[in-house]
């Protein structure tokens, strides 16, 4: 089969190459376009934030609050649609192409079923923010943003599922090219709609949300067209019998995806909840927190891309019933994430004063104070960047083994017992404010990182391999030819 790991395909290594070198090469080849895709997506978010920042500190604070509401819904669906990747990778490794298609199909179904109510729920964002004690003017601006953003959920989830399918069959490059084209398109559309350029209506912060939705619809349509019509994806006939609901495989997707969703929610909930707490310290503190967190998110995208590659590499080896290959793939991903984040942490510390200035007009009111606070937060964040990179790589490797329930327990303990407990105590009773919140992030992430690495080591040391995904019996006739 094209794309098969050269170690496991023939049971031997290419002459003169070590298992680590071969696995490193294969992982980098897969991770690089995935990571660049992630960077492209965060580039669009960064562009939006930079443009919104020209509307003032209150607009940045409103965008931060709107993202808390939207991303709470988004990360829940992201878990379900991300489960397409391990299911499809295991099926690909087991040489069952029809199961690859069905894994994608149930992911698209799940995104649609979940997306309708959660998209509509965004329209009550202002009421929720007011109930949480946020300032009325900031909550009203956040509501404007959400009115445009709300409709981006379903196409964004579809793109995640389609991207997972592409990666599972070792061809992630089209998702990168689609995202690369979307970055300048997003900038132009957002600029035109926010500021009313070229005769367009001046929509302000609403325009940023509308631009995000338009671009997500375009990315989804492009990815669907590639998967339907282009080699090697078209042989999977991704829209074949799309109306058929595959209840048996949907249960497997839910069994893997719901714990993933809950884990994402627990992690994002820690950062989102902290954002709401920081909002109590004022708009400037919240704007600085959002800028520093956006810079951290840019760094995080490379390890997250490595994690997605780890899910595929480990999942393919699991489908081939090769526990040694799965263990090797996971630890190679860990090493890549650790090395990258170590280098980037040094860079951020050195340029911590210059980076936040990108997001603000220095002549604007309070800009100097916001930039100063953000610079300090980046220095504090250097203590958790490495732990964050390693934990996401290990979480991706464990997803390749369909191991999502125990990591969910780890996340609940690390983020909410240790992390939230620490940041609340440091921020309020001990009086450290925003500084205490960021120290609490560090403590929770380090604990979570240690637990995940230990879990992966123990599972793979005893040769654990999950069962490959299965569909109902009446779906199993006429297997497609393997690549």
pLDDT for 8-36, tens place per residue? Answer: 433 445 555 688 888 888 899 888 898 88
Query: What is the rounded average pLDDT of the residues 400-413?
Result: 95
Positive/negative CA dihedral, 261, 147, 208, 219: positive
Positive/negative CA dihedral, 300, 301, 304, 310: negative
Structure confidence at residue 10 (pLDDT):
36
Structure confidence at residue 239 (pLDDT):
81
Mean pLDDT estimate for the chain: 86
Write 3-12 long-range contacts (CB < 8 A, 24+). Answer: 3/169, 3/170, 3/171, 3/483, 4/316, 5/313, 5/316, 5/317, 5/320, 5/322, 5/325, 7/322, 7/325, 7/328, 8/317, 8/320, 8/322, 8/325
Q: How confident is the model at residue 400 (pLDDT cuts 50, 70, 90)?
A: very high
Cα dist. 398→91, 125, 404, 456 in Å?
17, 34, 7, 6
pLDDT digits (tens, 9 = 90+) for 449-477: 999 999 999 999 999 988 766 655 444 43
Structure confidence at residue 255 (pLDDT):
92
Measure the CA–CA gap between 135 and 454, rounded to whole angstroms: 43
Structure confidence at residue 483 (pLDDT):
36
Structure confidence at residue 470 (pLDDT):
62
Measure the CA–CA gap between 24 and 336, rounded to whole angstroms: 8
pLDDT digits (tens, 9 = 90+) for 118-139: 999 888 888 888 887 778 888 8
Query: What is the rounded average pLDDT of the residues 366-392?
Result: 89
């Amino acid at each position: 089969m094209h794309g098969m790991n050269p170690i496991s395909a023939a049971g031997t290594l290419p002459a003169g190459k070590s298992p680590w070198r071969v696995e490193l090469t294969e992982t980098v080849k897969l991770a690089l376009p995935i990571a660049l895709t992630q960077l492209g997506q965060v580039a669009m978010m960064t562009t939006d934030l930079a443009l919104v920042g020209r509307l003032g500190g209150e607009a940045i604070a409103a965008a931060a609050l709107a993202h808390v509401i939207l991303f709470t819904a988004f990360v829940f669906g992201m878990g379900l649609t991300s489960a397409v990747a391990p299911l499809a990778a295991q099926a690909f490794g087991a040489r069952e192409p029809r199961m690859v298609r069905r894994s994608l199909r149930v992911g698209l179904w799940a995104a649609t079923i979940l997306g309708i109510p959660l998209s509509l729920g965004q329209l009550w964002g202002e009421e929720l923010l007011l109930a949480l004690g946020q300032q009325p003017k900031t909550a009203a601006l956040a509501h404007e943003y959400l009115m445009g953003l709300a409709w981006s959920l379903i196409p964004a989830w579809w793109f995640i599922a389609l991207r997972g399918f592409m990666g599972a069959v070792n061809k992630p490059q089209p998702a990168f090219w689609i995202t690369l084209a979307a970055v300048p398109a997003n900038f132009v559309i957002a600029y035109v709609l926010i500021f009313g350029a070229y005769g367009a209506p001046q929509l302000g912060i609403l325009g940023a949300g509308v631009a995000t939705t338009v671009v997500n619809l375009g990315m989804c349509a492009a990815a669907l067209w590639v998967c339907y019509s282009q080699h090697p994806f078209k042989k999977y006939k991704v829209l074949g019998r799309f109306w058929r609901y595959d209840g048996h495989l949907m249960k497997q997707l839910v069994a893997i995806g719901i714990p993933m969703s809950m884990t994402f929610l627990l992690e994002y909930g820690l950062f989102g909840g902290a954002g709401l707490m920081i909002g109590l310290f004022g708009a400037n503190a919240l704007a600085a927190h959002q800028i520093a967190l956006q810079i951290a998110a840019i760094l995080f995208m490379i390890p997250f891309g490595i994690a997605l590659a780890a899910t595929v590499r480990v999942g393919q080896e699991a489908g081939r019933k090769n526990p040694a290959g799965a263990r090797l793939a996971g630890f190679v991903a860990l090493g890549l994430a650790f090395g990258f984040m170590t280098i980037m942490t040094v860079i951020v510390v050195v340029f911590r004063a210059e980076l936040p200035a990108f997001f603000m007009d220095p002549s604007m009111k309070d800009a100097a104070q916001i930039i100063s606070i953000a610079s300090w937060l980046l220095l504090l964040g250097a203590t958790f960047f490495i732990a964050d990179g390693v934990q996401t790589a290990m979480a991706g490797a464990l997803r390749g083994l369909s191991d999502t329930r125990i990591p969910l327990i780890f996340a609940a303990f690390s983020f909410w017992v240790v992390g939230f407990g620490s940041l609340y105590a440091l921020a309020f009773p001990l009086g450290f404010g925003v500084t205490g919140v960021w120290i609490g992030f560090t403590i929770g992430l380090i604990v979570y990182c240690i637990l995940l690495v230990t879990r992966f080591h123990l599972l793979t040391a005893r040769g654990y391999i999950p069962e490959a995904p299965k569909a109902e019996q009446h779906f199993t006739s006429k297997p497609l030819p393997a690549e």
